[in-house]
């Protein structure tokens, strides 16, 4: 009897752990977004995180990514992005461009009712003017009639 209880306990812990860690038992999305936007993340690690976030569902990534996107540009002179040229950018600018690449990736494609619904939900929860502007810009492409209400 104890043997079965231990086995059931092990199985339940294994399955519950995936709920707390996100897709596939890997890092939670909030941790990935933190690493993406952190100036302390190396170029190589940021590239891996960026690709991982692009593979996850938009409805899970965008609500968390919104607040990183809403931080806007880093202080100081503007660093123009040019793909691999980003490697030479200050870490704050590397993070800024990576965050926006992920945001844009999830908003690309044909106009979508589903994306419009998601953006409308995000707009209701956006708590800064910058966050609202980012979401409204996304709604330009994924407009839904419900947004007029």
> What are the extents of the domains in the chain?
26-106, 109-149
Say what the pTM is.
0.79
Cα dist from 68 to 6, 62, 72, 101, whole Å = 42, 10, 8, 12
**Gap between the Cα atoms of 18 and 24, Å rounded:** 7
CB 97 within 8 A of CB 89: yes
Distances (CA, A) of 3 to 8, 11, 77: 9, 12, 64
Pull the structure tokens for residue 112. Answer: 């979508």
pLDDT in tens, 17-41: 333 444 454 579 999 999 999 999 9
* pLDDT one-digit tens code per residue, 92-142: 999 999 999 999 999 997 788 999 999 999 999 999 999 999 999 999 999
């Amino acid at each position: 009897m104890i043997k079965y209880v231990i086995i059931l306990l092990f199985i339940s812990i294994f399955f519950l752990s995936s709920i707390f860690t996100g897709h596939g038992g890997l890092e939670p999305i909030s941790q990935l977004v933190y690493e993406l936007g952190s100036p302390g993340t190396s170029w190589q690690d940021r590239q891996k995180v960026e690709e991982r976030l692009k593979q996850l569902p938009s409805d899970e990534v965008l609500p968390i990514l919104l607040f990183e996107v809403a931080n806007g540009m880093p202080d100081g002179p503007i660093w123009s992005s040019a793909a691999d040229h980003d490697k030479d950018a200050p870490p704050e600018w590397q993070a800024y461009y990576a965050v926006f690449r992920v945001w844009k990736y999830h908003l690309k494609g044909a106009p979508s009712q589903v994306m419009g619904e998601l953006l409308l939900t995000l707009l209701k929860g956006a708590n800064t003017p910058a966050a609202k502007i980012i979401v409204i810009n996304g709604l330009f492409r994924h407009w839904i009639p419900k947004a007029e209400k």
